[in-house]
């Protein structure tokens, strides 16, 4: 048990046609909810820390909490930097014990993305740390994305091959129609599976990553709205599309929004139903349980990685 890289996890996932969940963590209750589910399901696990999470909780708290989670559950956990913007943030995370970093150079021109990623790969590999890179721009969230012409921002299969060869990255986040947050599609959900198949055919055995892969389940959106929330029109990636992607080289599926929805829905409900309560444990406890149930559902029904650790 301990902090591990994702290398073995991805190898087994690729061969088994399933995916490993990468869940964003921001505080103790979120970490506890996720690891309790992963321990019960004996699932492989990636916990990821964004720049926003580092700012909110301080990276040392988050790393120590993940170490505590390993000690308590006996799990192997990959501790991953989510969307590292530049070399410095990646280096800081490598130096402080992360086992995986993402260098997100997707906002840069192709050659600059290659140069930045290669530099991070060289440093990380020297320190036994693996690197996820990104090619293509996720609609709606990344800089300079024109959502009206999505194809211009989707990952080009031939460029993906050149990028992987030139950078030596260990996994690649691709763009096929997913996006971050709770409002992913205006009309019917659609992913460019032909593009995914082309990329995975050209990169056999190579782990691909899907960002923006929350499903935004209607029941949790409705629950939020029922208890005073206002998130009309929220829509995510249907679960069957994620299961299909996991069979075609997608080994890591990123989930943050669905944890936020589950935790917020349960806390809203507690507040409305118990106006006299003011002990944070009375609402953070149910929030943690909601995270646990959501992660268990993902492991069993979406990622298909139960008992795969
Ligand atoms: O990709 C993500 C984190 O990097 C999270 O995506 P969601 O917003 O769909 O949960
Ligand atoms: O990449 C997006 C993740 O959901 C992290 O979000 P955040 O930057 O608000 O922590
Ligand atoms: Zn990106
Ligand atoms: Zn992301």
Q: What is the pLDDT of residues 156-201, one digit of tens each?
A: 999 999 999 999 999 999 999 999 999 999 889 999 999 999 999 9
Q: Record the pTM.
A: 0.96
- At 143, is the pLDDT very low, low, confident or very high (cuts 50, 70, 90)? very low
Could you tell me which residue, 142 or 93, shows the higher pLDDT? 93
Please name which ligand lies nearest the alpha carbon of 256: 1
The mean pLDDT value for 28-51 works out to: 98
CA 136 vs CA 42, 104, 210: distances in Å:
33, 10, 12
| Residue 240 bears catalytic tag | no
pLDDT confidence tier of residue 136, bands split at 50, 70 and 90: very high
Looking at residue 239, its pLDDT comes to: 98
Residues 136-157: what's their mean pLDDT? Answer: 69
User: Could you give the 3-state DSSP secondary structure of residue 182?
Assistant: coil
From the CB of 175, is ligand 1 less than 6 Å away? no
**Longest pairwise C-alpha distance within the chain:** 60
Residue 264, classed as helix, strand or coil, is helix
Vertex 101: Cα angle to 96 and 104 (nearest 5): 130
| Residue whose CB lies within 8 A of the most ligand 2 atoms, among 46, 256, 259, 260, for a mutation test | 256
Q: Is the dihedral of CA 200, 206, 207, 212 positive or negative?
A: negative
Whole-angstrom Cα distance, residue 18 to residue 75?
Answer: 19
Q: Catalytic residue among 76, 82, 258, 304, which? A: 82
**What's the pLDDT score for residue 148?**
52
**pLDDT score, position 138:** 87
Question: Ligand 3 centroid vs 83 CA: distance in angstroms?
Answer: 6
The per-residue pLDDT for 49 is 98
Write the pLDDT tens digit of every residue in 222-277.
999 999 999 999 999 999 999 999 999 999 999 999 999 999 999 999 999 999 99
Q: Kindly report the average pLDDT of the chain as a whole number.
A: 95
Q: What is the pLDDT of residue 29?
A: 98
- Answer whether 202's CB lies under 8 Å from 157's CB: yes
> Is the interface score ipTM higher than 0.95?
yes
Question: How far is the centre of ligand 2, averaged over its atoms, from the C-alpha of 277 (Å)?
Answer: 30
pLDDT at residue 18 tops 80: yes
What pLDDT is stored for residue 1 in this prediction? 81
Residue 89 CB less than 6 A away from ligand 1: no
**Average pLDDT over every residue of 293-306:** 98
């Amino acid at each position: 048990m301990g902090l591990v890289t994702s290398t073995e996890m991805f190898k087994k996932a690729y061969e088994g046609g399933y995916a490993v969940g990468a869940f964003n963590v921001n505080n103790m209750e979120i970490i506890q909810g996720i690891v309790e589910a992963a321990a019960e399901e004996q699932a492989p696990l990636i916990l990821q820390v964004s720049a926003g999470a580092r700012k909110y909780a301080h990276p040392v708290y988050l790393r120590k909490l993940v170490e505590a989670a390993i000690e308590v559950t006996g799990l192997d956990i990959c501790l991953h930097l989510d969307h590292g913007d530049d070399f410095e943030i990646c280096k800081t995370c490598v130096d402080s014990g992360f086992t995986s970093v993402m260098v997100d150079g997707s906002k840069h021109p192709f050659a600059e993305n290659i140069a930045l990623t290669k530099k991070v790969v060289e440093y990380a590999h020297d320190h036994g740390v693996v690197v996820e890179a990104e090619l293509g721009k996720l609609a709606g969230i990344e800089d300079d994305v024109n959502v009206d012409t999505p194809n211009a921002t989707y990952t080009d299969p031939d460029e993906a091959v050149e990028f992987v060869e030139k950078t030596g990255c260990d996994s690649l986040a691709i763009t096929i129609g997913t996006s971050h947050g709770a409002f992913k599609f205006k009309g019917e959900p659609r992913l460019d599976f032909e593009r995914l198949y082309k990329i995975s055919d050209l990169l056999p055995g190579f782990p691909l990553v899907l960002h923006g892969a929350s499903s935004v389940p209607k029941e949790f959106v409705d629950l939020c709205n029922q208890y005073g929330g206002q998130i009309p029109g929220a829509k995510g990636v249907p679960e069957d599309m994620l299961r299909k992607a996991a069979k075609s080289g997608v080994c890591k599926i990123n989930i943050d929004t669905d944890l936020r929805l589950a935790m917020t829905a349960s806390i809203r409900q507690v507040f409305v139903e118990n106006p006299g309560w003011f002990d944070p444990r009375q609402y953070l406890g149910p929030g943690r349980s909601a995270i646990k149930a959501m992660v268990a559902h993902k492991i069993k029904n979406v990622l298909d990685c139960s008992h795969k650790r």
